[in-house]
Amino acid sequence: MLAGCESGLFAVTLGEGSVELTPQAARPGAPMKVTGRKLAAPLFPFPDMRFNDGRCDRQGRFWAGTTVQDMAAAANPAGALYRFDQRGVLSAPVVDGLITQNGLGWSPDGTTMYLSDSHPLRRQIWAFDYDVETGEPRNRRVFADLNHYVGRPDGAAVDADGCYWICANDAGALLRFTPQGKLDRQIAVPAIKPAMCAFGGRDLDTLFVTSIRPAAGASEHDGHVFAVRPGVTGLPEPEFAGEL
């Protein structure tokens, strides 16, 4: 989970908290060095917890959610969603009761927030009304129930039409839902566990998709990154608007 900053730094959430990363100039041919500084971390209610998925809202607030490290061990709803704002303040849990937080995204005008839970016992995507002034999500409702489709909801992206793309983990597919929650596109990828998607390229018309290589039974392309031309364009990812 990484967001650029106007200063040229990066805000990133790794493991137990948010970190500022500063790339260091290196001589030609030498690996780039990066220094890190811890910014904030919540008090986890259980051991072996970590952050999972995150991104900035349209106003530049950095959001990230937590999960119990071993997803297969237990369906523990100890995960929560946090907001790291422009003042450098980490919120209390804004949304709690999550097993495996994922799928953050915002509509083009920023007034709808999307959030998912990837755990096999959940497989839910929710939409919220989002207050762009305060950064508060309200009116949580089911946007798409993937128990009625394929896979588990993993990383997501929103396109310029306001449609929500989700990686269907364990199903080797990308699903596109309209703002009304209707499935209107399904694209197969040659990897069983697509994990995150993001629009890029000069015209933001390429959807880049990462995938996870399973521990057993991996195919030739599992663990690869794919570039898909879906025929629509994406939106620029907002930078973190705070001062680090």
Residue 85: what pLDDT?
82
DSSP string, 92-104: SPSEEEESBEEEE
Let me know the angle formed at the C-alpha of 146 by 101 and 70, rounded to the nearest 5 degrees. 35
Superfamily of chain region 2-26+33-228: TolB, C-terminal domain (2.120.10.30)
Q: Is 237 helix (H, G, I), strand (E, B) or coil?
A: coil
Residue 37: what pLDDT?
59
Residue 244: what pLDDT?
53
**Domain range annotation of the chain:** 2-26+33-228
Residue 34: what pLDDT?
58
Place of tokens 């690869």: 224
CB atoms within 10 A of CB 165: 26
* Helix, strand, coil tally for the chain in percent (to 5): 0, 50, 50
Residue 154 bears catalytic tag: yes
Residues 172, 189 contacting (CB under 8 angstroms): yes
Catalytic residue among 57, 85, 117, 154: 154
DSSP H helices, 27-121, are: none
The parts of the chain modelled with pLDDT lower than 70 are 1-27, 29-40, 71-74, 242-244
Q: Is 74 helix (H, G, I), strand (E, B) or coil?
A: coil
Residue 243: what pLDDT?
61
Q: Using CA atoms, how far apart are residues 236 and 122, in angstroms rounded to an integer?
A: 30
User: What is the pTM assigned to this prediction?
Assistant: 0.89
